[in-house]
Amino acid sequence: MSAQFSNTFTVGLYKCEMTFDPASKSIHAEWTPAEPKRLTDAELKQYRAGRNALLSEVGKALGGNVLVIET
């Protein structure tokens, strides 16, 4: 798997572009206009939906499951 995966989604007043790079096996999130300090429950739900959509694509491409651990 060499292609990058990305998803851009709205979280409240913010926009998040999340990218998975298979070469480095890392996820990067770019927030516009800036990274929020806190998310409301509704915004957290929007963030998780966008993140999970990206990880679902990655899992399908890998042919397996993706585990997310939130701290």
Q: What digits encode the pLDDT tens for the residues 27-41? A: 999 999 999 999 999
pTM: 0.87
Q: Is the pLDDT reported for residue 25 higher than 90?
A: no
- With bands split at pLDDT 50, 70 and 90, how would you rate the model's confidence at 66? confident
Q: Where are the alpha helices (DSSP H) in the chain?
A: 41-62
Domain ranges in the chain are: 5-62
Phi, psi torsion values for 29, nearest 5 degrees = -115, 130
- With bands split at pLDDT 50, 70 and 90, how would you rate the model's confidence at 56? very high
